[in-house]
Chains A and B, each alone.
With several copies, the nearest count.
Chain A
Amino acid sequence: MKDAVRIQEEDFSQDEEITALKTSSQRMGGIATFLGCARDFSEGREVSRISFEAYGSMALSEMKQLRLDAIEKFKLLDARIVHRICTVTAGDNIVFIAAGAEHRAPALEACRYMIDELKERVPIWKKEITPEGDAWVSPHP
């Protein structure tokens, strides 16, 4: 079975991730997921491709810690985080978060917590490649 936290170039399958998540417990009544995808527009500009760069070792250890933090904070039965580092085009998958709990509320809340925290804590940068040139993305302050 694949690791619960991964940085990888290749795409992932949600069915596979959910199946892996479920193996950890037969008491999992609610699974919430968040999937981040590449859009073809950003702030009004047309985006052809998006490329990602990571401080790999730190990004992976931050993601692992984030998973443990979420499991503890929301009493999850399990959680998974996968981020692709590669160049993607519109519609492609970028990031996948899954949270499994006995009931739906903690699963949904943990899913939101993990994607919000990932954006704050994990050293990954996005470059938008547009017909007018490339630009690293500055997140909103």
Chain B
Amino acid sequence: MINVLFFGPVVERTGSAALKIEFMPGMTLQILRDELAEKYPRAFEIVSLAAVNGQHVRDFSIPLIDNSEVTFMAKFSGG
């Protein structure tokens, strides 16, 4: 399973803060993103950042590992 988390402005558009997505061998961050963007198009309009296991990831071609925690995030506005 991939544990997907959403926060703040993204949750407002997905309606849920956490999802479990079936892990598939060969799954990349990009594949997961596209799958979720199809399901939640309005949320992904404002997604501009992603993290895997709490680390910023810029290269979406990285393969995911089973049981990873993946977050798709809107631009930060803290501070």
Partner of B76, one of A61, A95, A120: A120
Whether B51 lies near A126 (C-beta < 8 A) is: no
A119–B8 Cα gap in the complex (Å)? 15
Given A55-B7, A136-B8, do A122 and B54 touch, yes or no (CB 8 Å)? no
Cβ of A57 < 8 Å from any Cβ of B? yes
Describe A's contact surface by its main secondary structure: mixed
Describe B's contact surface by its main secondary structure: mixed
Whether B79 lies near A125 (C-beta < 8 A) is: no
Partner of A53, one of B7, B49, B54: B7
Chain A interface residue bracket vs B: 20 to 34
Kindly identify, within residues 1 to 29 of chain B, every residue whose CB is under 8 Å from any CB belonging to chain A: 5, 7-9, 12
| Chain B 37-54 interface mask (CB, 8 Å, partner A; 1/0) | 000000000100101001
A118–B55 Cα gap in the complex (Å)? 15
Partner of A138, one of B5, B7, B73, B74: B74
A54–B49 Cα gap in the complex (Å)? 14
Cβ of A139 < 8 Å from any Cβ of B? yes
Q: Hey, which bits of chain A sit against chain B, CB under 8 A? A: 36, 52-55, 57-59, 61, 83, 94-95, 115, 118-127, 136-139
